[in-house]
């Protein structure tokens, strides 16, 4: 998704002895517009992370046509290092299931998500491997049964589940038995077999109450980014990039664009080291807690509108911001490193953002519906920018501008990219 903004300047400027026909001027103008559009697209697309399919596991244990390989994990135990897909395995004889279910790269149409609850805790002082930290999570998803099926398929990759799953019939609060589950790596599925098919028209809630995953530097899902502050200290932050398939790295989900739902998000952040948590929606409440002798907040966010998983945004960082407001009093903030904000590098973006939202809303006759408009620069970001609703993420060079230092060309790019990403917000373009 490219980053571009279309700006024209006009005027009549006739010089003696020089004439340009109307047709030539129109052609020339169209060429210029085409160049600007192409440039905006390239800015956004260059560096977008690609999704390499996970290598297929040993077919002697995982092929769908043979007895299903399952993973036995008792509540509270850890059988793998976060991100590793090999565990203590057992084989359930005779349980092959319909092979086309998890062979298909697209989820079956039997179940439709309605609402997710996601809680994530990034821990920066636990390094599980060099330059890789860890995050802990819990999540649930309420879904509607469209067609009776005794299989629940969710996307999941590099997540280590350390407690038993549950499925509840929402109408009766009765538990649904789970007789088997396994990870099918080629299509990044968590496959769960229930004791009986779901009933069409009823809703159920699946919960993964405890898991962990690597907070790595692959720029995908919920990942680790770093910078060195003015004191020379290495600072670690956690940033997300869910497009194209990053959500499944963060929580088990129906991770396809057409399967939209609402989201309740809680991010845990240390408060004694200057960290804050930011997501798509405004903060609903802070719940103080102590975690391993440190002061933390459970930062609870308001419920989102219906949206796809790829537009989710999670950030835990020691950041500050510039704040401005639109004409109808919608909050806009530019988040970045304290040194950058103190240096005035967020001022330009904070000035043009409310102006753009107002002008785009007037042009499309669609007002900006989200309760806030946050934009944040990440030290490491694979895409040029990402149009997450309510919290747009950027490379630093495409959001920050320093007067008398940044080039005019870069100022144009910042303007172009911000305009493009905010157009996504106003038009609800997915």
Encoding tokens for residue 74?
């008792």
Q: How many helices (H) and strands (E) does the chain have?
A: 6, 22
User: In the block, which residue shows the tokens 């079956």?
Assistant: 108
Q: What is the DSSP letter of 106?
A: S
- The verdict on whether 402 is a catalytic residue reads no
Please pick, among 3, 210, 387, 421, the residue that the annotation labels catalytic.
421
Q: Which residues pair with 113 in a beta bridge?
A: 143
The DSSP element (H or E) to which 209 belongs, if any, is: strand 203-215
Number of Cβ atoms within 10 Å of the Cβ of 140: 21
Judged on CB neighbours under 10 Å (0-12, 13-18, 19+), 13 is: exposed
Q: How far is CA 291 from CA 278, 294, 296, 339, in A?
A: 20, 5, 6, 29
User: In the block, which residue shows the tokens 């890789």?
Assistant: 132
Phi, psi dihedrals of residue 214, rounded to the nearest 5° = -75, 135
Q: Is the dihedral of CA 370, 280, 430, 192 positive or negative?
A: negative
Nearest to 332 by CA among 376, 388, 275, 395: 376
Strands 385-386 and 391-395: antiparallel
Q: Active-site residues: which are they? A: 421
């Amino acid at each position: 998704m490219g980053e571009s903004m279309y700006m024209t300047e006009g005027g009549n400027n006739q010089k003696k002895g020089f004439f340009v026909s109307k047709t030539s001027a129109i052609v020339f103008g169209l060429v210029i517009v085409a160049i600007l559009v192409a440039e905006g697209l390239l800015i956004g697309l260059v560096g977008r992370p690609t999704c390499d399919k996970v290598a297929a596991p040993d077919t002697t244990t995982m092929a769908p046509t043979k007895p299903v390989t399952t993973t036995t994990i008792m509540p509270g135990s850890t059988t793998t290092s976060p991100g590793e897909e090999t565990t203590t395995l057992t084989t359930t004889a005779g349980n092959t299931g319909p092979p086309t279910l998890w062979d298909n790269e697209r989820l079956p149409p039997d179940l439709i998500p309605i609402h997710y609850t996601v809680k994530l805790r990034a821990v920066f002082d636990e390094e599980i491997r060099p330059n890789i930290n860890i995050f802990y999570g819990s999540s649930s998803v309420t879904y509607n049964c469209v067609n009776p099926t005794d299989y629940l398929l969710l996307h999941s990759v590099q997540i280590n589940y350390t407690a038993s799953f549950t499925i509840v019939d929402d109408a009766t609060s009765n538990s649904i038995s789970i007789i088997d589950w396994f990870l099918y790596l080629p299509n990044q599925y968590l496959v769960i077999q229930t004791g009986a098919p779901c009933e069409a028209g009823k809703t159920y809630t699946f919960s993964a109450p405890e898991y962990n995953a690597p907070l790595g530097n692959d720029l995908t899902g919920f990942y680790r980014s770093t910078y060195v502050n003015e004191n020379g200290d290495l600072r670690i932050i956690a940033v997300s990039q869910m497009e194209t398939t990053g959500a499944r790295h963060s929580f088990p989900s129906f991770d396809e664009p057409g399967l939209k739902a609402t989201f309740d998000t809680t991010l845990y952040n240390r408060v004694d080291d200057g960290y804050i948590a930011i997501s798509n929606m405004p903060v609903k409440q802070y719940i103080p807690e102590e975690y391993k002798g440190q002061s933390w907040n459970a930062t609870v966010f308001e419920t989102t509108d219906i949206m796809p998983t790829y537009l989710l945004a999670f950030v835990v960082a020691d950041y500050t911001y510039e704040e401005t407001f639109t004409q109808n009093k919608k909050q806009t903030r530019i988040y970045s490193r304290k040194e950058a904000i103190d240096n005035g590098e967020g001022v330009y973006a904070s000035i043009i953002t409310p102006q753009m939202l107002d002008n785009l809303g007037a042009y499309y006759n669609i007002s900006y519906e989200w309760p806030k408009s946050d934009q944040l620069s990440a030290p490491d970001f694979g895409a040029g920018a990402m149009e997450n609703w309510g919290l747009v993420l950027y490379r630093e060079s495409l959001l920050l501008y320093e007067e008398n230092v940044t080039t005019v060309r870069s100022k144009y790019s910042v303007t172009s990219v911000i305009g493009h990403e905010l157009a996504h917000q106003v038009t609800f373009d997915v």
